[in-house]
Structure 1
Amino acid sequence: MYILNISTSILVFLLASIHIYWAFGGLWPGKNQQDLINKVFGRGNKFPSPFSCFVVAIGLVLFSSLPVFWLVRNDLGISPQYAKMIRYSMIFVAIVFLLRGIIGYLPWVTKHWEPIFVRYTIRMYNPLSLLIGFSFLLMSI
């Protein structure tokens, strides 16, 4: 379980780092802002504000801390009451990522997205979301 906790935490922290990068004007994986919007959001012509990117990044950093707290809960002397809160938070995070992974496979949802985003979603975003979701679910058992 140690490897699962640490690797999941690192993976979610890396996602937070990408959002911080975007908040500062980074364009990867796009070539320009519209290409980034098409690849990351799937539609529209306006990128979210830096504030929005930071809010998502903060949420992801908090999510990334849960596996570590869960791993060391006994060493830190976390009460059973707080341990339950961490566990339920991990279940919540699992549900969020699992839903994100499932929604991207629904044709009535994807028909409204740019084709490049649908390809990225099916090849990368959905599998990654499902992996993270199942990891959080497995850790919370």
Structure 2
Amino acid sequence: MMYSLSIMAIVLLWMISIIHIYWAFGGRWGIGAVIPVKGGGQQAVFVPRKWGTLCVATLILLASLIILIQQGFVAYFQPSSFSKVGSSVCACVFIARAIGDFKYVGFFKSIKHSQFAKNDTKFYSPLCLFLGFIYLELLF
């Protein structure tokens, strides 16, 4: 069971990373539904920059590498204390993202009527919670 869930998490992380690379190089598909907006308007909370988006894509790929190592899928890298620390960090980051900042993102956000907020409640926060629990499971 954990094998299948790990493969699913890896594929999802790769897809998310590819989408971030697409956005970093000027892609516009889906961009309107993935950036939180301030309450009452359509003003974005932040404007993602090319290098920041590429950094996020790289971090997501590295996060998938931790799953690959912890599950023993990479022949040259065996699970170690470093990959366990990485798994702990990823678990904390993804679970914290799922909980959110209590205003714009996460299950406990207060601004809930934008397209981003609806997608966040249906897709992004549950995905982050799923990934967080995958990383927690990899610790044991």
Asked whether 1:40 is paired with 2:34, we answer yes
Q: Which runs of 4+ in 1 moved over 3 A?
A: 44-47, 73-78
Deviation at 1:74, TM superposition (A): 9.1
Question: TM-score normalized by structure 1?
Answer: 0.79
Q: What amino acid does structure 2 have at the position aligned with 1:137?
A: L
Question: CA RMSD for the aligned pairs?
Answer: 2.2
Number of residue-to-residue matches in the alignment = 128
Question: TM-score normalized by structure 2?
Answer: 0.80
Match of 2:80 among 64, 77, 83: 83
**Deviation string, structure 1 residues 98-120 (Cα, Å, up to 9, x no partner):** 111111122xx432x76211111
3-state SS of the aligned residue for 1:110? Answer: coil
Q: Pick closer, same or farther for the CA change 1:48–1:75 going to 2, 3 Å.
A: closer
Q: Pick closer, same or farther for the CA change 1:74–1:120 going to 2, 3 Å.
A: closer
Check whether the contact 1:23–1:50 (CA below 8 A) recurs between aligned residues.
yes
| Structure 1 portions without partners, runs of 5+ | 31-35
Larger RCO, structure (CA 8 Å, separation 6 or more): 1
3-state SS of the aligned residue for 2:47? Answer: coil
What percent of counterpart residues are identical? 27
Alignment of 1:22-101 (within 5 A): 22-30=23-31, 36=32, 39-43=33-37, 44-45=43-44, 47-72=47-72, 76=76, 78=78, 83-101=80-98
| Structure 2 portions without partners, runs of 5+ | 38-42, 101-105
